[in-house]
Amino acid sequence: MKRRMTSADRWIDAFLAANPELADLRAGTYAASGEEAAAAAVWLMGRRGLPAPSKMGTAELLRAQSEDISLAVPEDVALWSRWRSCRHVFDFDPDLAAALAASDSPDSMPLDALARLPYPIQYVQAPISSWSPSGRAFSHPGFFAWRDTQRDAGGGVRDVLLVFLVREGRPCVRLSLDLACGTVGGAADSLVDADLALYGRLGGPPGGFDAASARSRARETAGDALSLLLYLVSDGADREVVYRPSGGGGGTRRLSPSTIHSVGARAGAALRAARIRYGGGGGSGPSGRTVSAHVRAGHWHCHWHGAVGSPERRLVPHWQPPVLVNPGGREDGSTVVHRAGR
């Protein structure tokens, strides 16, 4: 099966075109976003005559990093170093992705459930939204995700989950989720707390910033991204490899250099079939009373696999798909439940 370039491939192409020096970077050299990757980012900026990040004002650096794809930060170097040797795209069925986004929030889900992502880095191809501090909305075709370590302000090292939301031809929106926060909601809140601390150093937040709204939007973005990642590691996830790149190619069409995993082909088909079959809603009985059909949203729960104390013991998430309740509009008070997807 031939596969065209994915949104991950297109972003990487633009990133390398703006940072050609990184094309010769040996795969895995800077796989962590620590001191070595930081040194590589400083070296890269020096090659272009740009001041090192430490010599730039915080506001200037933040503005440059959000607009200029050629200003690589340590995490960007780590992303490319990992991606060069491990290119895996998880292409989500759009109906499954929408159902996951509409599921009950995974705020209380322990982050331990994401302890074992499928690969050292992966790209999730599914639409997701984010917002600027002033509330401007952005749409993204997908995101890179990997576990890493970062130094905090006190010089300590913390474990993080990095989620980089892709913008075509522009720098990623970079989310650093502190795994020590324990839960998905706690990690999302820590993003806003970090922004508030930064704004304090800059003399105040930008115009239009509202902390409560920012916290809600951060939870939505982080929750949507982590729901997709949780599905990848969940019990019985519907995913399979549908394309592996060959060494050749040719022709006028560019083919993806990434291994592509189809996610949710069966689940998405089941959701669409259920919507077609029961899309008419409820009905009315002899008494004239109408009992509406409705969808009970999907939700998350998790359980432990492995013996207590064993190194193989891990927390496994499970997604309960949406459930159609009273699809025929039964007016006798009884309930008929149909699973909408699996």
pLDDT, one tens digit per residue, over 85-134 is 899 999 999 999 998 888 877 777 788 888 789 999 999 999 999 987 77
Total length of the chain = 342
Residue 221: name the closest of 162, 144, 165 by CA.
165
pLDDT above 80: residue 186: yes
Q: Side by side, which strands form the sheet with 259-263?
A: 170-178, 157-167, 137-151, 122-131, 88-92, 259-263, 239-243
Whose tokens are 């191809």? That residue is 125
- 33-58 confidence digits (pLDDT tens): 556 666 666 666 666 666 555 555 54
Euclidean distance between CA atoms 144 and 126, whole angstroms: 11
State yes or no: pLDDT of 25 exceeds 90: no
User: What number is the average pLDDT over the span 299-308?
Assistant: 70
Q: Cα(234)–Cα(298) distance, rounded to whole angstroms?
A: 14
Q: How many CB atoms lie within 10 A of CB 217?
A: 21
Q: What is the value of pTM for the model shown? A: 0.80
Q: Are 91 and 141 in contact (CB under 8 A)?
A: no
Model confidence pLDDT, tens digit, residues 67-82: 677 777 777 888 888 8
Q: Which of 173, 149, 143 is nearest to 161 (CA)?
A: 149
Would you state the pLDDT for residue 49?
Answer: 65
Report how far residue 322's alpha carbon sits from residue 200's, in angstroms, rounded to the nearest whole number: 43
Q: Are strands 137-151 and 294-296 parallel, antiparallel or unpaired?
A: unpaired
pLDDT higher than 80, residue 249: no
Task: Show the 3-state SS of the chain.
Answer: CCCECCHHHHHHHHHHHHCHHHHHCCCCCCCCCCHHHHHHHHHHHHHCCCCCHHHCCHHHHHHHHHHCCCCCCHHHHHHHHHHHHCCEEEEECHHHHHHHHHCCCCCCCEHHHHCCCCCCCEEEEEEEEEECCCCCEEEEEEEEEEEEEEECCCCCEEEEEEEEEEECCEEEEEEEEEHHHCEHHHHHHHHHHHHHHHHHHHCCCCCCCCHHHHHHHHHHHHHHHHHHHHHHCCCCCCEEEEECCCCCCCCCCCECCCEEEEECHHHHHHHHHHHHHHCCCCEECCCCCEECCEEECCEEEEEEECCCCCCCCEEEEEEECCEEECCCCCCCCCCCEEECCC
